[in-house]
A and B are shown apart, each in its own frame.
Chain A
Amino acid sequence: MKTSPLLSSLLAVYTLTNREVVRFLRQRNRVFGALAQPVLFWLIFGQGLSGARFHSVSVGYSEYFFPGIVVLVVLFTAIFATISIIDDRNTGFLQSVLVAPVPTVAIVMGKVAGTMVLAVGQGVLVCALAALGGFEIGLGGLAASLPVLVLLSIALAGVGLMIAWPMDSTQGFHAIMMAFLMPMWLLSGAFFPPGGTPSWLGWIIALNPLTYGVALLRYSLYAAGSPATAGLPPLSFCFVATIAFAAATLGGSVFVARNRAGGRHP
């Protein structure tokens, strides 16, 4: 049976996405790692720092921190999903995917789409938990946050792929996660607002593309003109910057994967 190239690529994306989701649901510890840990962070820091006051923030700390936690859930999901590539390539499922007659771009898309489904699903679930912290996100906010979560999960899955694809050991990934990915999240306005920080830190935050993703998520969760979004970069800029972030990492991961489709020294 001859299948057209487009259909065979779509089949590959579908099957890899499906596998990602089924695997995730069967591994309870992964559900715990990606979901429970950020929620725990939120409860601990949100309550622990509830007395903290930032002059640029009009809501309580727990509420301020909440969108940051949703982004952390997306980040963790992307990390867990992409780190498996490292072991998978030499001793696992990915071996046979790499020798299948499908273009590399379809393999990358499958991984990204799988991560996206997981990340968006968990992001929505966490949003529903906002009530635990004493505030609720309406259906409108939930709906508006969906496309933002899609963009963020594509961007962060792309980052994870670019890091994981060329790597030979998961230890290396852990090192980068602690030295690069966590700071990227900490310095995105997720944990504390940029206003009032030393200027060098302010620069890093302004240059960090994730900053605009976090801001975009804040916009989406609140009604227009809400005091909670006061002081953020303009909405349109956040939107464009986040789309550019997702497009760049997606393109970057296809590039990286194409340049190292196969293996290394056996």
Chain B
Amino acid sequence: MNRPFAVRVSEVSHSYGSHQALDNVGFEVAPREIFGLLGPNGGGKTTLFRILATLLPIQHGTVEIDGHDARSDVAGLRSRIGVVFQSPSLDIKLTVRENMLHHGHLYGLYGSTLSTAVAAGLSRVGLTDRSGDMVETLSGGLKRRVEVAKGLLSEPSVLILDEPSTGLDPGARRDLWAYLAALREESGTTILVTTHLMEEAEHCDRLGILDRGRIVSSGTAETLRSKIGGDILTIRAESADTLCTALNERFGQRANVVNGTVRLESPDARHLIRQIYEAFPEQVDTISLGRPTLEDVFIHETGHQFWNE
């Protein structure tokens, strides 16, 4: 059946006691899409991941994956998702193949069907020759590959990954993303990742920016960046606050101070540099000009920096 969306989250809220971890979160992911939930640690990503993975009960709102409602049909939903955890869910005292077999049994696979699926899955991640090795002898990158192969063993329609690049070196990260892209092409799997890494977010077709339990913005990386009309000036100054006020008064700008530096979005940033230098020669230490990054989008939407919490 062709649905317009593979994942639909609407009005999901979650709190731990008095702490509101998610506040009215909603988004949709189309089939075959790679969707990223980008946000700082503590922004609610992990809670959302745990809800999507059915590890946390839904307190408010609805979650639907591949046509299965998380509340009324959790078993059906579970059979359609593959979950890759941030902390390894492999048993390190078992071999790669044993881990895969256990996983297959838990998803109702057995016998020759399972053996074939395990062999195919391991070959796809290039681990056929390591299948008899204890997981504890594998590097972090290889372990993650086994995790992914394991998550895909039951041929889920949606693969959910929590911070998949954590603990991987740049080469292994590249491999992982190449693999996920190929997977989407070949199997049509919908992929949903949570991440706090801007560079990882660039691999996604669409992003939802999650901050303080809310989706503050969503769209393709390009759309998000274009929301900032122009370039970004970052100004270092002895007294950032004073300079910021003066700038706003003098040039009618909407500069603000983020983490001790003055930050200014402007379509006319190049010309502004000179004007600022001329107007405040004493106060300004350095000015840098940059194209907007996803981090700038984050600051634009939230008014605070990604890392300063």
Which residues from A are CB-within-8-Å of B101?
15
Asked whether A265 is an interface residue with its Cβ less than 8 Å from the other chain, the reply is: yes
A interface residues, tally (CB under 8 Å): 35
CB distance from A105 to the nearest CB of B (A): 13
Q: Which of A18-35 contact B (CB under 8 A)?
A: 18-19, 22-23, 26-27
B85 pairs with A96, CB closer than 8 A:
yes
From known contacts A22-B98, A262-B56, A265-B16, infer whether A95 and B105 are also in contact, taking CB-CB under 8 Å.
no
A8 pairs with B55, CB closer than 8 A:
no
A90 pairs with B106, CB closer than 8 A:
no
A15 pairs with B105, CB closer than 8 A:
yes
Interface of A is mostly: helix
With A and B bound together, what is the CA distance between A98 and B75 in angstroms? 11
Chain A, 251-266, contact with B by CB distance < 8 Å: what is the 0/1 string? Answer: 0000000000111011
How many interface residues does chain B have, given as a range? 35 or more
From known contacts A22-B98, A101-B75, infer whether A96 and B103 are also in contact, taking CB-CB under 8 Å.
yes
Which of B50, B76, B93, B113 meets A262, CB within 8 Å?
B50
Asked whether B107 is an interface residue with its Cβ less than 8 Å from the other chain, the reply is: yes
Asked whether B142 is an interface residue with its Cβ less than 8 Å from the other chain, the reply is: no
A15 pairs with B94, CB closer than 8 A:
no
A27 pairs with B79, CB closer than 8 A:
no
B78 pairs with A101, CB closer than 8 A:
yes
A19 pairs with B46, CB closer than 8 A:
no
Which residues from B are CB-within-8-Å of A199?
none
Q: Which of A56-101 contact B (CB under 8 A)?
A: 90-101
Interface residues of A (CB under 8 A from B): 1-3, 7-8, 11-12, 14-16, 18-19, 22-23, 26-27, 90-103, 261-263, 265-266
14 contacts between A and B (CB under 8 A): A2-B108, A15-B101, A15-B105, A23-B91, A90-B87, A92-B89, A97-B106, A99-B83, A100-B103, A101-B76, A102-B106, A261-B55, A262-B55, A263-B55
Interface residues of B (CB under 8 A from A): 16, 46-47, 50, 53-57, 75-76, 78-79, 81, 83, 85, 87-91, 93-94, 98, 101-103, 105-110, 113, 150
Give the 10 A-B CB pairs with smallest separation, nearest first: A3-B108, A15-B105, A100-B106, A101-B78, A266-B46, A262-B55, A8-B108, A96-B89, A91-B87, A101-B79
Known contacts A11-B106, A12-B106, A96-B89; 19 additional CB pairs below 8 A are A1-B109, A1-B113, A3-B109, A19-B98, A22-B93, A92-B89, A95-B55, A95-B87, A96-B83, A96-B106, A99-B53, A99-B55, A99-B78, A100-B106, A101-B76, A261-B55, A262-B55, A262-B56, A266-B46
